[in-house]
Amino acid sequence: MTGTVASGTFVIHDAPSLITLCVAEASDAASAPGVLGPPFSLQPVLRAFGVDEVRLRPLGHDARLVVERGRYVVEVNSLLHPWYRRLCIAHELGHLIADRVSGQDKTGGVLGGEVNVENLCDRLARELVMPAVAVAQRFNPGLTGASAVARAAKLFEVPVDLMATRLFVDLGFLPSSVPVILHCDAARSPFNGSGQSTFVRPQTASPEFGPLFDRIVQEPGLTALFGETDVWGEGHELAFRDNGRDFQVSAILFHFLRLAPPFPPERGALVLIHPAIQPNTN
């Protein structure tokens, strides 16, 4: 998510502590009286942080926080899908949360030269729209297939890829040995010239998992998944063997939900690679 705010930087040397405090502030805001969900309305949080208006208009970016006659206004791109639009509004609230916690206004730039403010505000947005307590109450860690992620995304009315980030990056669902990959299908995407894969976790393709994923997407079961034109939300489970190791692969096709109709959605796939549990031979 991108936004426009007044320039400035935090002069904070203990950036990790500031981040923790910001996340706690966002968590408190998300659980305040009147905040009901899922899906979670942002109206009580907007009022609590002095935002008088959310204004829809065409923009060259996602959203921005502006001050008009001494009051806060969030302007959000009217071309965005409503689910993604809500996250962009929450991102702008993240700037106000960071301001409050740091005691500084006009936040932007980096936190203590270490942490990017925009990345922090993305994290705070996910906390506001997908509160940790609510996610934990409704998402069974034992149901770790891609279909379960899609069901959670539908319940919270957020894009599947951002629910995956919330579950597996922010909240640490699934052990770190399970790679989580998002794959954009170039054949169905009007916005990307070529297909691309993004590692949600680990955040970069390791020498081990990059080639493994490339081989997995050539499996007939997933090739059929990527080749579908009318299916959305159908999960696929398949066993995969690579270099003598067994894996259980869980995948689901979804739409990225960035732009609202009539723009065609980018299609992608969420792929989770579970190392198969080896039987105890003792």
- CATH 1.10.10.2910 domain extents, the chain: 3-133
pLDDT (0 to 100) of residue 109: 45
In this prediction the pTM is 0.80
Task: Choose the weakest-confidence range: 154-163, 172-181, 252-261.
Answer: 172-181
The model's confidence at residue 136, banded by pLDDT at 50, 70 and 90, is confident
For residue 54, with 0-12 CB atoms within 10 Å meaning exposed, 13-18 middle and 19 or more buried, which class applies?
Answer: middle
What is the fold, at CATH topology level, of the domain defined by 3-133? Arc Repressor Mutant, subunit A (1.10.10)
Q: What is the 3-state secondary structure (H, E, C) of the chain?
A: CCEECCCCCECCCCHHHHHHHHHHHHHHHHCCCCCCCCCCCCHHHHHHCCEEEEEEECCCCCEEEEEECCEEEEEEECCECHHHHHHHHHHHHHHHHHHHHHCCCCCCCEECCCEEHHHHHHHHHHHHHCCHHHHHHHCCCCCCCHHHHHHHHHHHCCCHHHHHHHHHHHCCCCCCCCCEEEEECHHHCCCCCCCEEEEEECCCCCCCHHHHHHHHCCCHHHHHHHHCCCCCCCEEEEEEEECCEEEEEEEEEEECCCECCCCCCCEEEEEEEEECCCCCCC
State pLDDT tens for residues 198-238: 666 666 555 566 666 667 666 666 666 555 544 555 677 77
Residue whose C-alpha is closest to residue 102's, from 30, 10, 27, 24: 10
Contact 29, 97 (CB under 8 A): yes
Mean pLDDT for the stretch of residues 160-185: 79
Mean pLDDT for the stretch of residues 253-262: 84
pLDDT (0 to 100) of residue 62: 92
4-40 as b/e: b if 16+ CB within 10 A? bbeeeebebeebeebbebbbebbbebbeeeebeebeb
Question: Which of 3-7, 91-95, 210-214 is predicted most confidently?
Answer: 91-95
pLDDT (0 to 100) of residue 7: 33
Question: How many whole angstroms separate alpha carbon 258 and alpha carbon 170?
Answer: 21
pLDDT (0 to 100) of residue 51: 93
Written out in words, the top-level CATH class of the domain with range 139-275 is alpha beta
The model's confidence at residue 140, banded by pLDDT at 50, 70 and 90, is confident
pLDDT (0 to 100) of residue 264: 79
State pLDDT tens for residues 67-91: 988 889 999 999 999 999 999 999 9
The model's confidence at residue 191, banded by pLDDT at 50, 70 and 90, is very low
| Token pair belonging to 125 | 């947005």
pLDDT (0 to 100) of residue 177: 67
Whether the predicted pLDDT of 152 surpasses 60: yes
- CATH 3.30.450 domain extents, the chain: 139-275
Task: Tell me the pLDDT of the chain averaged across its residues.
Answer: 75
State pLDDT tens for residues 9-46: 343 444 567 778 888 888 888 877 766 778 988 998 99
